[in-house]
Amino acid sequence: MVGSTNGTPAVNDGCRYVALRYSTANSDTSFVCASGNGSLDQTYSPSSTIAANALVKIEFVDNGASWDVKLNGSSVCTMNTRLPASGTAMRWVGMAQTLANAADQFNFYHFMGKQ
């Protein structure tokens, strides 16, 4: 998962977040955009397929009443339901967890936050 959260992201753990997620624990079969307001989660299908082994620039844009997820400058999701409340203290997070008995990796090549 790559995104912004106020807690440790997990299914129904009460954290507030916006994210790009691929979770077999949540039955995802490809990358989805996801948000949570602390009690309910929401997923959004991206407008284009996101390759699992591609180098991409990911942007999260807070528009006030919605969040956009952009890949390489193009919007692929607009999230406008079950978002963190305005003023929620958030932090940027990148996380990988393998549920299989196999090696896995998640590489960050450049990470920048801007307000």
pLDDT by residue (tens digit) across 50-63? 776 777 788 888 88
Residues of the chain above pLDDT 70, percent: 67
Find the helix or strand (DSSP H, E) in which 9 lies: none
Per residue in 45-94, pLDDT (tens digit) is 888 777 767 777 888 888 889 999 998 889 999 999 999 887 787 777 77
Cα 33 from Cα 59, distance rounded (Å): 12
Structural domain including 88 reads 2-92
Cα 38 from Cα 72, distance rounded (Å): 29
Domain count, the chain: 1
* Residue 106 forms part of a structural domain: no
* Residue 97 forms part of a structural domain: no
* Residue 115 forms part of a structural domain: no
pTM over 0.85? The answer is no
* Residue 62 forms part of a structural domain: yes
* Range in 31-35, 75-79, 110-114 the model is least confident about: 110-114
